[in-house]
Amino acid sequence: MGIVSNLRLAAAATGLIAATMFVSTTAFGAGDVKDPDSQDWHFEGIFGTVDRAAAQRGLQVYLEVCSSCHGLKQVAYRNLTDLGFNEEEVKAIAAEFDVVDGPNDEGEMFDRSAIPSDKFVGPFPNNAAAQAANNGALPPDLSLQVKAHIGGPDYIYALLTGYTEAPADVEVPAGANYNPYFRGSLIAMAQPLWPDGVTYSDGTEATIDQMAWDVVNFMQWAAAPEMEERKKMGFKVVLFLIILSAILYAAKRKMWSNLDH
Amino acid sequence: MSAGTNQTGGTNSGLVKWIDSRLPVFSYLQKEYAEYQSPRNFNWFWNFGAILTFLLVMMIMSGIFLAMQYQPNTALAFDSVERIMRDVNFGWLLRYLHQNGATFFFIAIYIHMFRGMYYGSYKAPRELLWMLGVVILLLAMATAFMGYVLPWGQMSFWGATVITNLFSAVPLVGDSIVTLLWGGFSIDNPTLNRFFALHYLFPFLIFGVVVLHVIALHVSGSNNPLGVDPKGPQDTVSFHPYYTMKDSVGLAVFVTIMAAFVFFAPDFFGEPENYLEAAPLNTPAHIVPEWYFLPFFAILRSVDFDILFIEAKLGGVIAMFGAIFVLFVLPWLDKSPVRSAKFRPVYKWFFWIFLIDCVLLGYVGGKPTDAPVFGGVESFQIIHLGYITTFWYFAHFLIVLPLLGIFERPKPVPKSISEAVLGGGSSGAAATAKPMEKA
């Protein structure tokens, strides 16, 4: 408790500093970050939909690569039916994970296999455990990463495919990795994707670009699972409103024609 | 209007008459919203009162349903919003309507206010009407600020940290005010709880002030693009059906634009980092408020120097609140007897300069202070543009407007609305007006 309140005091102090030091708060110059290239995503545009084949492959990349460090806590296994998995497949995916449930009639907590209604089981029981396992860096939850960055999908794709040798003038300390698309260029995450890091069941070749592409499609769906329903409804609503506006305008003209102008 | 049945909208319903003779709601509506005589020459900028009324109701309705699902607890708030987005039936629609509704409320309120400034709607006898409008703006800002904290994202938390800390600049009682706002010694669960309670309360206060705003409007009557008072029935039409019809058109177009954002680009106006849960130990590189606060935020930051015994921080806070309070006294700063900028050749220019100044302030508020302006030369930084635009904001009200009242020569103002609208200025105005068919 003492530590917690100390941390809160520290947070409040940080806030005070942030509030009073606006004038000098710009830690990062514009030249530090490389702008991601714009990609042609299937989900873009007012008629854009989820590329289910890509998103299914992306799930595989998430489960086999990303999920060793990153959680996906806002998404439930049952949501995977959106991507075209049937209920048996969803049950099978969920059953690979254990969750703590309880207490049972004896008052004991117990482990059981996850079921479709459970949220994705994360790799760590809490943030402190995650940081302890990652040199103090906290791997962010991936549920909303696409929405949490400007140009989210392009940024994440660029980040995953953008690991290169550091230029001679950049010193990369131990535990850091060079990535020009990351703010400050030094990222705690080591390059996660390598050729043939996963074996796709549909025969797609698992290049770095392909896996990054697929996992971004998956993460986009995970961040905005309502997207297809939203755009479909939006098309009808906006079309209705345009017609309504036109009719109301015509009625207004007719009504006002009774008056002199 | 003839007496009798027409007072209740021409109904013959016995029940309506029975109620109306005991509680005259029907005759009130008939008088204030149907027969209410409005100048016949409103342009489309006169739609925004109706649009704002609609938006206020929409915000209250969507907000009530969101409150049924939202959890005002720091451990649950962020996830409860995501649950609304994912698992609540049409929760994403409610949430995106509410989130974008705030943005479009401010778009409409700013257009409404600039309309008032251009056409001199704040001048006698409408000073109180204008001041009540400024009260609504202040309340709307407080409501929006507290509402933005509720999802408990990174910008919620750090925005709240920055803004609440401003009050610590108040001499003597500053720290006590901050403690009171926080409900403790840091932004935490008590802060979230009280912001939620107040965020639910304030829209109803706004509603109350809107009622006063409308009462004041109906006492003095609406201004119009000419700024000339109606002289008789040839200058006016009844509010219903003419302006209910015209307002419906404007509202439908406005809602169409809003819907396009809600459904196709719902996060366009939002700050991406607010999709990261609040982390009190992890300060974002660049804390920015929502776009509608940016001009005021720019004024706050632009006072980064001590003025005599006033420290920079307090000076910034005074300037920021001063930027709103100067609006309260606007009716007395603008001394020109002519209302509409149509007949004020010099003021017209200064109006547009002021509008551009406000847009530039918004740009300044959204950028780091040491960035070059528009990516140009290093020596001309955002903070410098901030000094200029902040100075001009106040100079417009405190120097330009009082001087224009003395030195500007207004163009001749038409004798009446019907003369300007119908007669082209040459023929007798009243003579050319046909008898009203519906009024």
pLDDT digits (tens, 9 = 90+) for A114-162: 999 999 999 999 999 999 999 888 999 999 999 999 889 999 999 999 9
B162 has a chain A CB within 8 A of its CB: yes
H or E stretch including B199? helix B189-220
Both B279 and B297 in a single domain? no
Interhelix angle B127-149/B189-220, rounded to 10 degrees, is 160
B131 and B247 fall within a common domain: yes
Q: Tell me, yes or no, whether B81 lies in a domain.
A: yes
Chain B, 117 to 156: residues with Cβ < 8 Å from chain A are none
Q: List the domain range (segments joined by +) for residue B396.
A: 293-408
Q: B277 has which bridge partners?
A: B153
* B198, B260: one domain: yes
The answer to whether position B245 is within a domain reads: yes
CB A41 within 8 A of CB A54: no
Q: What is the pLDDT of residue B424?
A: 52
Q: Name chain A contacts of B96, Cβ cutoff 8 Å.
A: 230
Percentage of residues in chain A with pLDDT exceeding 90?
A: 67
- Let me know if residue B239 belongs to a domain: yes
DSSP assignments along B86-149, one per residue: HTSTTHHHHHHHHHHHHHHHHHHHHHHHHHHHHTTTTSTT-HHHHHHHHHHHHHHHHHHHHHHH
Provide the CA A211 distance to its chain's centre, in angstroms: 15
Q: Is residue B26 part of a domain?
A: no
Give A207 to chain B, closest Cα distance, Å: 29
d(CA A53, CA B55): 41
Are residue B167 and residue B197 in the same domain, yes or no? yes
Any chain A CB within 8 A of the CB of B92?
Answer: yes
Nearest of B78, B93, B87, B302 to residue B192 by alpha carbon: B78
Q: How confident is the model over A1-6, as a mean pLDDT?
A: 44
Decide if B275 and A8 are in contact by the 8 Å CB cutoff.
no
Q: Is B156 a residue of the active site?
A: no
Q: Do A260 and B286 touch (CB under 8 A)?
A: no
Copy the structure tokens of residue B80.
């409860």
Mean pLDDT for the stretch of residues A6-12: 47
Q: Which residues make beta-bridge pairs with A101?
A: A110
Per-residue buried b or exposed e for B374-410, using 16+ beta carbons within 10 Å of the residue's own CB: eeeeeeebbbbbbeebbebbeebbeebbeebeeebeb
Is 80 exceeded by the pLDDT of residue A20? no
User: Domain check: are B203 and B352 in the same one?
Assistant: no
Domain annotation covers residue B268? yes
Per annotation, catalytic residue among B17, B32, B168, B218? B218
Q: Provide Rg for chain B, Cα atoms.
A: 24
A46 touches chain B (CB under 8 A): yes
Average pLDDT, consecutive stretches of 10 residues, N- to C-terminus, chain B (439 residues): 53 88 92 90 95 97 97 96 96 97 97 97 95 97 96 94 91 92 93 96 97 94 93 90 95 97 95 93 88 95 88 91 96 94 95 97 91 84 94 97 94 88 51 40
What is the CB neighbour count within 10 angstroms for residue A67? Answer: 18
Q: Are residues B142 and B282 in the same domain?
A: yes
Q: Please list every residue in chain B whose beta carbon sits closer than 8 Å to the beta carbon of residue A8.
A: 185-186, 188, 280
Residues B201, B57 within the same domain: yes
B239 DSSP assignment: I
> Does B345 touch chain A if contact means CB atoms closer than 8 Å?
no
Chain B interface mutation, best of A7, A25, A183, A235, highest count of B Cβ atoms under 10 Å: A25
End position of a domain, from candidates B253, B272, B287: B287
| B333 within domain boundaries | yes
Same domain for B221 and B101: yes
Tell me how many domains chain B contains: 2
B21 falls within a domain: no
Amino acid present at B233: P
Catalytic residue of the set B27, B121, B156, B222: B222
Chain A residue with Cα closest to B41: A261
B325 and B248 fall within a common domain: no
Mean pLDDT value across chain A: 87
Give the per-residue pLDDT at A75: 96
Interface residue B409 vs chain A (CB under 8 A): no
B287, B308, B329 — which closes off a domain?
Answer: B287
The CATH number given to whatever domain includes residue B216 is 1.20.810.10
Let me know whether B208 and B340 are in one domain: no
pLDDT tens digits for range A71-110: 999 999 999 999 999 999 999 999 999 999 989 999 999 9
Give the DSSP letter string of A62-116. HHHTGGGT---TT-BGGGGGGGT--HHHHHHHHHTSEEEE---TTS--EEEE--T
Are B224 and B330 in the same domain? no
Q: Are residues B51 and B97 in the same domain?
A: yes
- The reply to whether B20 falls in a domain is no
Q: Residue A197: pLDDT band by 50, 70, 90 thresholds?
A: confident
Last residue of a domain, one of B252, B287, B322: B287
